[in-house]
Chains A and B, each alone.
Chain A
Amino acid sequence: DVKVTQSSRYLVKRTGEKVFLECVQDMDHENMFWYRQDPGLGLRLIYFSYDVKMKEKGDIPEGYSVSREKKERFSLILESASTNQTSMYLCASIGGGMNTEAFFGQGTRLTVV
């Protein structure tokens, strides 16, 4: 059974804190993604990675950074959390080639106060 696991289901942080969201997949997938989901805006791509230590900006990278030191782990970092980063964060992984189904983690509901 394929699995993408996000480290926290709910998280509350203070403005200005550095926040780490972790995502681990056990499918040996090359591609991993971070999205945020807000009402009426759908899933917006923050960053993605197609290999270890490789990353590319998505549509809304401002205020975020990522790290991929191992193939199975992709971390999203909020350098200095702000209230407008309150959102649902979803991690996904895709195998690559013809196997392009995305598997999602359970999501992290982040509230910045």
Chain B
Amino acid sequence: QKEVEQNSGPLSVPEGAIASLNCTYSDRVSQSFFWYRQYSGKSPELIMSIYSNGDKEDGRFTAQLNKASQYVSLLIRDSQPSDSATYLCAVNSGGTDKLIFGTGTRLQVFP
């Protein structure tokens, strides 16, 4: 079992819709969870971090964490074509600063 799992996609949504990205992780000790966005040919950039169960909202983005189910998700409201990118879920491993990434989900937002 991979430490961090994501559906590779592509996930295609129309402009203005809600995009829902999901991630599961295997290490129950993990404390920190992140969503990074990566445009083609560019480095990943952090868009959301979440540390406790529940929802965390930042503008059009909402991260959701359920530690009991070992599940973290990212919702993007009012999706825009500029949101088209690969979204990487990252989890710290073993309660350390070691950061493990999923393989990423490619999101396509079409006009």
Contacts from A to B (Cβ < 8 Å): 30-31, 33, 35, 40-45, 48, 50, 56, 58-59, 90, 92, 94, 96, 100-102, 104-107
Q: Quick check: B97 and A96 within 8 Å, CB to CB?
A: yes
Q: How far is the CA of A106 from the CA of B45 in the complex (A)?
A: 11
14 pairs, CB–CB < 8 Å, chain A vs chain B: A33-B99, A41-B103, A42-B102, A42-B103, A42-B104, A43-B88, A45-B99, A45-B100, A50-B96, A94-B97, A94-B99, A101-B34, A102-B36, A105-B43
Per-residue interface assignment for chain B, residues 82 to 111, with 1 indicating a CB less than 8 Å from any chain A CB and 0 otherwise: 000000101010001111111110000000
Tell me the residues in window 19-70 of chain B with beta carbons closer than 8 Å to chain A beta carbons.
Answer: 32, 34, 36, 43-46, 49
Q: Quick check: B97 and A100 within 8 Å, CB to CB?
A: yes
Known: A42-B88, A100-B92, A102-B90. Contact between A48 and B98, CB under 8 A? yes
Q: Quick check: B43 and A90 within 8 Å, CB to CB?
A: yes
Q: Quick check: A40 and B97 within 8 Å, CB to CB?
A: no
Which of B32, B46, B101 contacts A35 (CB under 8 A)? B101
Tell me if B7 is interfacial: C-beta within 8 Å of chain A.
no
Q: Quick check: B8 and A101 within 8 Å, CB to CB?
A: no
Q: Quick check: A100 and B102 within 8 Å, CB to CB?
A: no
Say which size band chain B's interface belongs to. 20 to 34
- Taking CB atoms, residues of chain B closer than 8 Å to A42 are 88, 101-104
Q: Quick check: B103 and A92 within 8 Å, CB to CB?
A: no
Which of A43, A48, A94, A96 contacts B101 (CB under 8 A)? A43
- Taking CB atoms, residues of chain A closer than 8 Å to B98 are 45, 48, 56, 58
Known: A40-B8, A42-B88, A42-B104. Contact between A102 and B43, CB under 8 A? no
- Taking CB atoms, residues of chain A closer than 8 Å to B44 are 43, 90, 102, 104
Nearest chain B residue, comparing its CB with the CB of A58: B98
Which of B32, B97, B101 contacts A31 (CB under 8 A)? B97
Q: How far is the CA of A30 from the CA of B98 in the complex (A)?
A: 12
